[in-house]
Every structure is written in structure tokens, then in C-alpha cells.
A and B are shown apart, each in its own frame.
Chain A
Amino acid sequence: MAEIKRYDNRLGIAGWLSGGRWGVERYAYILHRITGLGILTYFLLHILVTSLRVKGIYLWAGHGFMHQPIFRFMEYLVFAAFAYHASNGLRLVLVELGFAIGKPMEPVYPYKTSLNVQRPLLVCMAFLTLGLLAVGAYWALTK
């Protein structure tokens, strides 16, 4: 079997965090990763905490351990991460499947890149995220 040629990822983690000349989509990508890792961390702990109910331990119920203000705030952060990750993920799935990036065309100046064609989708995603964050904040504050 032929050996795959591998190139060094010279930028490393610094490359993940810097948008450089890639524009706003690159920052959306960085935030997608950060929120994804945050949700994954929460989810792994959530499995362990909810599994404790077989021993009769309901940490989230009543006025238990998970009802302290710091946990309520962190719960909102998880919701915010979910709202962003889901909205941006929906955009990524649409783009991956070829929607909202325009049709192939002759490269005639001035060029119209697919990045610019899908920008309205990014704006819609941003408004959807802000809407969800506002509903979540209203709910958390009035509960």
C-alpha cells in the first residue's frame, strides 16, 4: 500500500486560534471547535452524574448540589454553546451538501467566491444564535 505523504501542521494550535486573512468564517470555525469541546466535556460529566440515579443519587433534583448559582450560570453557558454550535453546525451541513454556495461559473473578473455567496447564511445563523441566547437568558432570569 502506498505511503501517504504527510505535511507538518506548522501553525499548530496557534493556527487554530488565528483567523488570519480567512475572514469571519474562520472565527466561526474556531468558536465552533471551542463550543464543541466545551459541550463534550459537559456531556461526559453529565453521563456520570445522571448514571448515579441508579444509586438513588439525584444531584440535579430539588435544592441539591447542582442548584448553586455557579452551576446555574454554567448551565446557561452550556445552553449558549449548544445554541451556537447547533446554528453554525446547521450552516456547515448546508454548505457541505452544496447549498447556499452558488453554482460553478466561468472565472471572469470580478470573481465571486463561494465564501461571499454563502455569507447571508452566516448572518442568518448569527441572528438565530442571538435569538436563542435571548430566549434562554429571559427564561433563566425569570424562572
Chain B
Amino acid sequence: MGGTRSWTWHMAAAVVLLFVLGMHMLIMHMAGTGHWFAPYGTEPSSMRNSLFRDENPFFIFAYILLLGVALYHGLYGFRTIVFELTLKPATEKAITIALAVIGLGLFGLGTWAALVAHRIALAGAGG
């Protein structure tokens, strides 16, 4: 039953990713043309445009959401592939724990970086 629930979350995460990652790629690569969330020059990934987005709490929320959803989808998918090799239960448990630790660690790092970047951008905007 736990497997079914995790797999359903995996699919739900995929649908969320489709929209959030799609928006992320559009904004980071094509937004320069229309200046969507990139008011400085034509390069959406320039430092000034990055700082402009880091100022906005909506982007910080979106980054953290994208980070969590993508880490869950990616690491659970990886776990599924590895488990098809029919490993010993103890090995499967060790892999699950290792992936959970890696996932939580990277989620912590990314969330911390997004929040610090937000504070830096606000401090920069305030002079």
C-alpha cells in the first residue's frame, strides 16, 4: 500500500513539474524577448535579472517548490530503477535511507540558498 501511495505521489509530482519546470525554462531562456521577469537587457540569466527575481517572494516559493518536487520525483524514479535489479531487502533499505538523506540534504541546501539569496537581493535593492 505504501508503494502505491509513493507511486501516486511520483505521478502527481510529475504533473506539477511539467508546469513549474516548463515555466522555469521559459523564463530562464526565452523571457528576455518579452522582458518577463527580466527587466534588465535581453539576457534573462544575467546577474541583475537573477537578483531581480530573487527579490520576489513568489520566485523563492517557486524555487523551493520546484526543488522539493523535482528531488522527490527524480530520486524516487532512480530508486525504482535500482530496485528492479532485485536486491536484498537490507540493501534496498540502505538505498532508501541513503537517497532520503541525500534528498533532504540537497533540499536543505537549496532552500537555504534561496532564502539567503532573497535576503541579499532585498539588501541590494534597499541600497
Q: How many A-B residue pairs have CB under 8 A?
A: 73
Size band of the A side of the interface?
Answer: 20 to 34
Q: Is the CB of A44 within 8 A of B106?
A: yes
Q: Is the CB of B109 within 8 A of A47?
A: yes
| Shortest distance between the CB of B23 and any CB in chain A (Å) | 13
Asked if B96 is an interface residue, CB under 8 A from chain A, the answer is no
Interface of A, helix, strand, loop or mixed by DSSP: helix
Interface size (B, Cβ < 8 Å)? 35
* Chain B residues, CB < 8 A from A36: 74, 77-78, 81
Chain A positions 14-28 with a Cβ under 8 Å from a chain B Cβ: 16
Q: Which residue from A58, A82, A139 sits with its C-beta under 8 Å from B30? A: A139
Residues of B within 8 A of A (CB): 11, 14-15, 17-18, 21-22, 25, 29-30, 43, 45-47, 50, 54, 67, 70-71, 74-75, 77-78, 81, 84-86, 106, 109-110, 112-113, 116-117, 120
8 shortest A-B CB distances, which residue pairs? A51-B113, A40-B74, A61-B47, A54-B116, A9-B86, A58-B47, A47-B110, A54-B113
